[in-house]
Amino acid sequence: MSDTNDKPVQNKQAVKAYFDAVNQMDEERILSLLTNDFAIISMNKNPPVLRYKWDARQFAAAPRLMSEHMKKPIKLRLLAMTAEDDRVAVEADSYGELTDGRIYENAYHFLFSFRDGRIREVREYCCSYTAYDLFGRHLNDKGEYEDKAG
């Protein structure tokens, strides 16, 4: 039987696995870490197109869809984590070079919530100006990436 004190450690391991899966653009692995009712909620206030709530499939596809506009896939770097109960707070940053030569660098705070060892919800905080400036034109009015592959 697992001790409840192990939960924060296990949840931090799941966050590390998530970052690895994102950086490898492994959609199936990302999905395996999420609950069926998973949601990511952007906590951005402006512009409105960046106030999105995505389900598991949209979330898992985001690294691939973002990378369509990049010379190499975007890389997320995990800087620090603090865990308590069923939550893990994460400080992270990203780096990528777009096909037009512009550089995407952003800073993030993610709040991961867990249920039964799987990620149930992520609240994302980042510089919305940077995100919109480089990726906003690729989003529809619901904040969803336009998937050219269908």
Locate the domains of the chain by residue range. 4-135
> CA angle 132-133-137, nearest 5°?
70
Q: What is the CATH number of domain 4-135?
A: 3.10.450.50
Which residue type does 73 have? P
What is the SS3 string spanning 95-129? Answer: EEEECCCCEEEEEEEEEEEEECCEEEEEEEEECHH
How many CB atoms are closer than 10 A to CB 14? 18
What does each of the 150 residues of the chain score in pLDDT, given as a tens digit?
A: 455 679 999 999 999 999 999 999 999 999 999 999 999 998 877 766 667 788 999 989 988 887 787 898 889 999 999 999 999 999 999 998 988 898 989 999 999 999 999 999 999 998 766 766 666 665 656 555 555 444
pTM value > 0.75: yes
The phi-psi region of residue 101 (left if phi > 0; otherwise alpha if psi is between -120 and 50; otherwise beta) is left
Integer Cα distance of 55 and 34 in angstroms: 10
Rg (C-alpha) for the chain, rounded Å, is 15
